[in-house]
């Protein structure tokens, strides 16, 4: 049981619903359907999963996927010891055993042959075969698999296989609309509403440039960073440059445009 | 006086009204009637500005000018212009000015003295400092010395053709360019047209295309071309607008300065904007562009066209003014930082600068109102103005946008309230009323009836007539690098491209059979090069298969108690060839020479050998499956570089291509840079890991209109560097045994000099394979 506690989400994370995703997720969880979250970076996918885990009172195991990850990083491996070997469960196996929500973040970053190991867990079988050990694990009744991916920026080479895609129910996430995003920024950081609205305006200006030299607009996460800096006493223009303009681009023209947007939004002269 | 005949009196003795003037008149000792006519007037002006010593110097200089034997013009020009030169920058510049005059007089350029003095005042007014004027004189002196002709040892025999034209255009140039820019512009003209009097005159008259192009490049301010991308991004990011930006020229339209506008073809903006230094602070050229764009975008977003037939021009002006202010208020509401830019650019008319009794004050009133509507701290006290500003802000209060119609009603009421009789006067107050970032509002008006004060000359039949079809494609223009000034000559080379004419494909087949033995050898090599899709990667901790050798070794280590190597797996990676090649052939006249060397017993020309080599290479590359294009080039001066396609990337190695190859012929010169740039333009459009431009040439770049061999070399070198930045590797195979001197300079390490040309057919395919292995 202590193992379960370790993965529990103890404090309520702040999450502002954009639509009916909370109710829908609860329904999916009740049926233990696997869930896929799609959306650009920093729009609140991981926060949503965290929040749902807290709301449902289930442990959450998060795996950040990367290119070098192999199936054994998920399932588990034998470790060599002085007098033999010892089996160590991977995060996916642990989640299946203790009945946790297993969240595979940025799943497309993992190689395609790796992602196939999750297939038996995601259909009606709900089992995880561990061929190295010759064991077949029945998933715990509370186990659920959640994956996220960002369809926007990855290369054409990195897409999910159809056979993987078609095992999930899916939510489309996007940056929230201006009023809602402002609310999120004020709630998250305590910044006053007028300043938050201006930050959101700049972020939206940058999002208009997506595909014109920017791979991705300014995410809600960066807006929150900028707001945090302003709360910390940094001048708004400096905070915006540091947290919003500089991180996303090295292109001098785009930087100049964003700087102008910042100046035009936060009037530098005393009005 | 009749028919221009003057009485034969001595003007030296002509009586002046004032005795003092008479004394001065004696002093300058002048016999020109034209001068006598204006002398008194000029002197009064001079007396009002000059001290006693300055008057003395002034008259002395005038006397010298009168004695040059150049007619009355130099003296007249000096007498009339000098007082205003001296007021603009002080009288200290007289010695250098006279110095230049003396230099011109001593050289054959005496005819330029009058133009120099005539435009001096206009130039001085623009330059505003003695140092700048000295700079100007130095430039003129330099131009004079370098363009004065000396042929066959007869030194300075011919006057400089460009100098009088330069002086005539000097005020315009000083207005457009900084003095450093003028120097560059002059430098360019002297360097390129130094030996060509007619072209030189055209250049300094600003009539030739490159003269204007260089002028445009040197202009001060923010050039549209430099900030176009930023403006595009600005429109897109802040206003979600992505319309085309079309620059219009501000350089050559003196009388009517064009105003920004927009129509269905895009947003029209000036091609250059200087930084604005106003009372409200400095606004950079880029920010001025942004203000222009923001204003137009605002109109597109919020303005609706109005029917204008029943409104008078005054009413329309007022409606435009109110509407512009409404748009700006809404823009500022969107981005508060814009207020600073707008206010800095908006003139602030002084409240009582205009006298309503004698002048039409309409523009002045509207400009004040406009200022008051967007500037809360306007400080005007006029009751009508305050009343209408209040009503304007009421309309727009509480996030209301109002509409063009509501605002037009307010504007009409304003006109009715403030109309004055004097608004009809011809004398209009223009100072501080031009708001240059606003567009001309043509989109705001809709006319139900066609205007009746204009005839329609456009014949509908004429309009539909299409221009006749031209044979071949129009030329592409490429710049050329000028190593002396380290700049590009804009649009210098015209390149015409075409398909290479065809011959008999069987000739090429015969060549290939001749080299059958070589082909067989090549074939074996090619098979080795063929892409092997899977490559094994060993020593992997995680992999798709167990690598038995390594696994056993690790097991032995493990059993022996040593630390085993955990990297016992292997995996695969795919390894395809992704190469695109463009083979560029130099088809210049020198190819017709016989190839030397002992093993060329058959006496083949270089052209024939190249043909064989290219055929073999094309065949070999076709076997490998790499996309290949072949093109040839030669040039006949910079006005005609021909680029002929022999094989396209997607064409198969078949009879059509072979036929073109068979018809390969040599002629004319080798202007390499333009051909390299054009080939690079095709290659850069291809998508591949490796893009290779293979150049086969037999000599250094040269052309009959270029005397300096270094010039085209430097250009070719620059072209190669440009290609390099585009990720295109250039490799040169030179057949000139003496190529070592220059080929390394142009291509760096990427070259090969083939001494024995006869072995070319064998070498070329091998070289390619070695390059792409």
Q: What is the CATH number of the domain that holds A8?
A: 3.40.50.300
Quick check: B337 and A264 CB within 8 A?
yes
- Give the fold, CATH level 3, of B578-772: Rossmann fold (3.40.50)
Q: Which of A172, A199, A220 is the last residue of a domain?
A: A172
Strand partners, B276: B283
Query: Which ranges in B272-336 belong to alpha helices (H)?
Result: 285-302, 313-334
Domain end (from A172, A196, A220)? A172
* SS3 state of residue B597: coil
Tell the burial category of B708 from Cβ atoms under 10 Å away from its Cβ (0-12, 13-18, 19+): exposed
Q: Is the pLDDT of residue A32 over 90?
A: yes
- In chain B, whose CA is at the least distance from the CA of A212? B233
Other beta carbons less than 10 A from residue B446's beta carbon = 11
Measured distance between the N- and C-terminal CA atoms of chain B, rounded to whole angstroms = 94
- Per the CB < 8 A criterion, the answer to whether B324 and B369 are in contact is no
| Both structure tokens of B621 | 């590359």
* A132 touching chain B per CB within 8 A: no
Nearest CA in chain B to A202: B238
Q: Are residues A141 and A11 in the same domain?
A: yes
Same domain, A19 and A60: yes
What is the mean predicted confidence (pLDDT) over A171-180?
A: 92
CB nearest to B233's CB, from A72, A213, A269? A213
Contacts of A70 in chain B (CB under 8 A): 542
* Residue extents of the structural domains in chain B: 11-217, 222-446, 534-574, 578-772
Are B41 and B85 a contacting pair, CB within 8 Å? no
Q: Are residues A190 and A257 in the same domain?
A: yes
Residues of chain B under the 50 pLDDT cut: 1-4, 462-463, 598
Nearest to B661 by CA among B583, B722, B575: B583
Distance between CA atoms of residues B695 and B730, nearest Å: 7
Closest CA to A16 of A53, A43, A37: A43
Q: Give percent of chain A above pLDDT 90.
A: 59
Give A192's pLDDT tier (boundaries 50, 70, 90): very high
Q: Which of A206, A263, A267 sits opposite B237 (nearest CB)?
A: A206
Residue A271 lies in a domain: no
Answer whether residue A34 shows pLDDT above 90. Answer: yes
**Which of these, B637, B638, B656, B636, lies nearest to B646 by C-alpha position?**
B656
| Under 8 Å between Cβ of B591 and B608 | no
Tokens of A33: 């359907």
Query: Both A151 and A190 in a single domain?
Result: no
Do β-strands A76-81 and A84-89 pair in parallel, antiparallel, or remain unpaired? antiparallel
H or E segment and range at residue B231:
helix B224-239
pLDDT number for residue B600: 54
Q: Inform me whether the pLDDT recorded for A74 exceeds 50.
A: yes
A263 vs B contacts (CB less than 8 Å) = 337
Query: Which residues of B sit within 8 Å Cβ distance of A?
Result: 229-230, 232-234, 236-238, 240, 286-287, 290, 335-340, 542, 544, 558, 564, 566
Q: What phi, psi does B425 have (nearest 5°)?
A: -65, 155
In a domain, A270, yes or no: no
Give B380-436 as a 3 state SS string: CCCHHHHHHHHHHHHHCCCCCCCCHHHHHHHHHHHHHHHCCHHHHCCCECCCCCCCC
What are residue B494's DSSP bridge partners?
B477
**Helical packing angle, B113-127 and B73-89, nearest 10°:** 10
Which residue is listed with tokens 């940056």? A175
Q: What is the largest CA-CA distance in chain A?
A: 77
Residues A96, A219 within the same domain: no
- Looking at residues A57-82, what average pLDDT do you find? 85
Record: contact A260-B234, CB cut-off 8 A: yes
Cross-strand pairs, A85: A80
N-term to C-term CA, chain A: 61
**In angstroms, what separates the C-alpha of A112 from chain B's closest C-alpha?**
13
Q: Which residues of B touch A269 (CB under 8 A)?
A: 337, 339-340
Comparing CA positions, the residue from A30, A31, A65, A33 lying closest to residue A46 is: A65
Which of B236, B336, B337 minimises the CB distance to A212?
B236
Q: How far is CA B370 from CA B434, B535, B750, in A?
A: 11, 74, 65
- pLDDT for B552-576, tens place per residue? 888 888 887 777 888 888 887 766 6
Helix (H) / strand (E) containing B492: strand B487-499
> In total, how many domains does chain A have?
2
DSSP string, B336-390: TTHHHHHHHHS----TT-S-TTTSB-HHHHHHHHHHHHH-TT-----HHHHHHHH
- Residue B769: closest CA among B532, B516, B579: B579
Q: Report whether pLDDT(A141) > 90.
A: yes
Q: Which residues of A touch B238 (CB under 8 A)?
A: 205, 208, 257, 260-261, 264
CA-nearest residue to B239 within chain A is A205
User: Which structure tokens are listed for B238?
Assistant: 């802040």
A-B contacts at Cβ under 8 angstroms: 62
Residue B360 sits at φ, ψ, to 5 deg, of -80, 120
Q: Long-range pairs for B95-100 at CB < 8 Å and ≥24 separation?
A: B96/B133, B96/B134, B96/B137, B97/B137, B98/B61, B98/B64, B99/B137, B100/B137, B100/B140, B100/B141
CA dihedral A150, A153, A157, A162 (to 10 degrees): 30
Write out chain B residues lying below 8 Å of A261, CB-based.
237-238, 335
* Mean pLDDT across chain A: 88
> How open is the CA angle A136-A140-A141, to the nearest 5 degrees?
135
B563: Cβ contacts below 8 Å, ≥ 6 apart: B557
Structural element, H or E, at residue B525: helix B516-529
Maximum distance among all alpha carbons in chain B? 131
- Cβ <8 Å between B542 and A70: yes
Instruction: In whole angstroms, give the CA distance from residue A253 to residue A259.
Output: 10
Under a CB-based contact definition with an 8 Å cutoff, are residues A46 and A105 in contact? yes
Indicate whether A117 belongs to any domain: yes
* A261/B340 CB distance under 8 A: no
- Residue whose pair of structure tokens reads 């936060």 in the numeric block: A266
pLDDT band at A53 (very low <50, low <70, confident <90, very high): very high
Q: pLDDT value at position A212?
A: 76
pLDDT confidence of residue B533: 61
Give the per-residue pLDDT at B1. 41
Q: Rounded to whole angstroms, how far apart are CA atoms A21 and A36?
A: 12
Residues 6+ apart with CB under 8 A from A147: A34, A35, A36, A37, A103, A104, A105, A107, A118, A168
pLDDT for B331: 92
Q: Which of residues 250-269 of A touch B (CB under 8 A)?
A: 253-254, 256-258, 260-261, 263-269
**Does the pLDDT at position A72 exceed 60?**
yes
The token pair at B323 is: 């509407």
**Domain shared by A157 and A24, yes or no:** yes
Domain membership of residue A53 as a residue range = 2-172
What is d(CA A205, CA B763) in angstroms, rounded to the nearest whole number? Answer: 58
Tens digits of residue pLDDT in A193-220: 999 999 999 999 999 887 777 778 899 9
Q: Is B11 left (phi over 0), alpha (psi -120 to 50) or beta?
A: alpha
Average pLDDT over residues A91-105: 93
One domain, residues A226 and A164: no
Got the DSSP string for chain A?
Answer: -HHHHHH---SPPP---SSSHHHHHHHHHHTT--EEEE--TTSSHHHHHHHHHHHHT--EEEEE--TT--HHHHHEEEEEETTEEEEEE-HHHHHHHHT-EEEEETGGGS-HHHHGGGHHHHSTT-EEEETTTTEEEEPPTT-EEEEEE-TTTS-TT----HHHHTT-EEEE--PPPHHHHHHHHHHHH---HHHHHHHHHHHHHHHTTBTTTBSS---HHHHHHHHHHHHTT--HHHHHIIIIIHHH---HHHHHHHHHHHHHHS--S--
Residue with tokens 């309230």: B417
């Amino acid at each position: 049981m202590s193992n379960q506690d370790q993965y529990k989400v103890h404090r309520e994370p702040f999450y502002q619903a954009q639509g009916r995703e909370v109710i829908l997720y609860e329904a999916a969880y009740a049926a233990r359907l696997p869930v896929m979250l799609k959306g650009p970076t920093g729009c609140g996918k991981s926060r949503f999963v965290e929040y749902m885990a807290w709301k449902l009172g289930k442990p959450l195991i998060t795996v950040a996927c990367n290119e070098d990850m192999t199936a054994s990083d998920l399932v588990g491996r034998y470790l060599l010891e002085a007098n033999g070997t010892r089996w160590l469960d991977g995060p996916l196996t642990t989640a299946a055993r203790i009945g946790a929500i297993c969240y595979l973040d940025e799943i497309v970053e993992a190689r395609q042959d790796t992602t196939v190991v999750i297939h038996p867990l995601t259909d009606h079988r709900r089992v995880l075969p561990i061929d190295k050990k010759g064991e077949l694990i029945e998933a715990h009744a509370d186990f659920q698999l959640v994956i996220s991916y960002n369809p926007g920026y990855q290369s054409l080479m990195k897409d999910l296989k159809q056979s993987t895609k078609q095992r999930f129910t899916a939510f489309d996430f996007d940056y929230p609309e201006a009023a809602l995003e402002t609310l999120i920024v004020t709630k998250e950081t305590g910044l006053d509403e007028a300043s938050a609205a201006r930050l959101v305006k700049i972020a939206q200006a940058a999002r208009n440039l997506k595909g014109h030299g920017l791979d991705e607009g300014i995410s809600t996460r960066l807006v929150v960073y900028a707001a945090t800096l302003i709360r910390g006493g940094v001048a708004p223009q400096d905070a915006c440059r540091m947290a919003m303009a500089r991180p996303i681009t090295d292109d001098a023209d785009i930087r100049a445009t964003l700087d102008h947007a910042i100046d035009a939004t936060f009037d530098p002269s005393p009005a | 006086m009749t028919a221009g005949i003057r009485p034969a009196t001595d003007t030296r003795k002509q009586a002046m009204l004032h005795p003092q003037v008479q004394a001065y008149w004696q002093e300058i000792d002048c016999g020109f009637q034209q001068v006598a006519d204006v002398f008194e007037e000029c002197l009064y002006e001079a007396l009002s500005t000059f001290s006693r010593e300055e008057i003395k110097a002034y008259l002395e200089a005038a006397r010298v000018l009168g004695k040059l034997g150049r007619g009355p013009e130099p003296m007249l020009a000096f007498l009339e212009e000098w007082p205003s030169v001296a007021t603009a920058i002080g009288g200290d510049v007289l010695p250098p000015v006279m110095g230049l005059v003396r230099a011109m007089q001593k050289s054959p350029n005496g005819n330029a003295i009058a133009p120099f003095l005539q435009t001096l005042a206009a130039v001085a007014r623009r330059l505003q400092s003695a140092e700048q004027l000295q700079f100007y004189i130095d430039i003129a002196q330099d131009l004079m010395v370098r363009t004065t002709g000396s042929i066959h040892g007869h030194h300075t025999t011919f006057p400089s053709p460009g100098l009088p034209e330069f002086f005539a255009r000097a005020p315009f140039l000083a207005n457009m360019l900084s003095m450093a820019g003028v120097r560059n512009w002059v430098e360019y003209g002297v360097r390129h047209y130094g030996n060509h009097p007619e072209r030189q005159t055209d250049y300094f008259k600003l009539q030739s295309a490159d003269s204007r192009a260089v002028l445009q490049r040197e202009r001060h301010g923010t050039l549209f071309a430099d900030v176009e991308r930023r403006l595009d991004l600005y429109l897109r990011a802040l206003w979600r607008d992505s319309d085309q930006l079309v620059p219009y020229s501000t350089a050559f339209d003196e009388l009517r300065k064009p105003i920004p506008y927009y129509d269905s073809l895009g947003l029209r903006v000036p091609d250059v904007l200087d930084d604005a230094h106003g009372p409200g602070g400095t606004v950079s050229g880029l920010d001025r562009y942004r203000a222009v764009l923001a204003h137009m975008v605002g109109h597109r977003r919020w303005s609706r066209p109005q029917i204008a037939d029943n409104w008078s021009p005054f009413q329309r002006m007022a409606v435009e003014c109110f509407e512009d202010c409404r748009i700006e208020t809404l823009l500022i509401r969107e981005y508060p930082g814009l207020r600073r830019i707008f206010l800095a650019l908006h003139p602030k008319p002084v409240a009582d600068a205009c006298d309503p009794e004698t002048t039409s004050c309409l523009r002045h009133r509207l400009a004040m109102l406009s200022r008051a509507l967007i500037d809360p701290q306007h400080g005007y006290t006029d009751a009508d103005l305050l009343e209408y500003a209040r009503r304007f802000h009421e309309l727009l209060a509480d996030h209301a946008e109002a509409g063009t119609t509501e605002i037009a009603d307010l504007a009409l009421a304003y006109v009715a309230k403030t109309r004055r009789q004097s608004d009809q006067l011809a004398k209009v107050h223009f100072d501080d009323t031009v708001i240059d970032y606003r567009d001309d509002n043509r989109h705001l008006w809709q006319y139900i009836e066609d205007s009746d004060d204009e005839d329609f000359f456009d014949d509908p039949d004429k309009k539909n007539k299409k221009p006749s079809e031209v044979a071949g494609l129009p030329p592409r223009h490429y710049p050329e690098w000028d190593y002396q000034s380290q700049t590009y000559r804009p649009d210098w080379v015209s390149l015409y491209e075409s398909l290479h004419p065809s011959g008999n494909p069987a000739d090429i087949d015969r060549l290939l059979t001749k080299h059958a033995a070589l082909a067989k050898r090549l074939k074996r090599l090619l098979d080795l090069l063929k892409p092997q899709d899977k490559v094994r990667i060993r020593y992997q901790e995680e992999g798709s298969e167990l690598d038995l050798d390594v696994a056993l070794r690790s097991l032995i280590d493990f059993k022996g108690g040593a630390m085993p190597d955990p990297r016992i797996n292997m995996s695969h990676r795919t390894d395809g060839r992704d190469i695109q090649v463009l083979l560029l052939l130099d088809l210049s006249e020198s190819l017709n020479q016989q190839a030397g060397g002992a093993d060329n017993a058959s006496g083949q020309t270089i052209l024939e050998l190249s043909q064989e080599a290219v055929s073999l290479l094309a065949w070999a590359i076709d076997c490998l499956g790499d996309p290949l294009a072949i093109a040839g080039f030669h040039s006949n001066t910079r006005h005609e570089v021909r680029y002929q396609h022999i094989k396209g990337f997607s064409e198969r190695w078949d009879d059509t291509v072979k036929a073109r190859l068979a018809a390969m012929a040599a002629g004319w010169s080798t202007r390499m840079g333009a051909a390299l740039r054009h080939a690079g333009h095709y290659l850069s459009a291809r998508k591949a890991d490796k893009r290779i431009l293979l150049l086969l040439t037999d000599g250094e770049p040269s052309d009959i209109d270029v005397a300096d061999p270094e010039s085209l070399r430097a250009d070719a070198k620059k072209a190669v560097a440009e290609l390099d930045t585009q990720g295109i590797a250039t490799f040169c195979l030179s057949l000139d045994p003496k190529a070592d001197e220059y080929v390394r300079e142009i291509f760096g390490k990427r070259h090969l000099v083939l001494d024995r040309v006869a072995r070319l057919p064998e070498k070329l395919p091998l070289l390619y394979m070695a390059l792409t292995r």
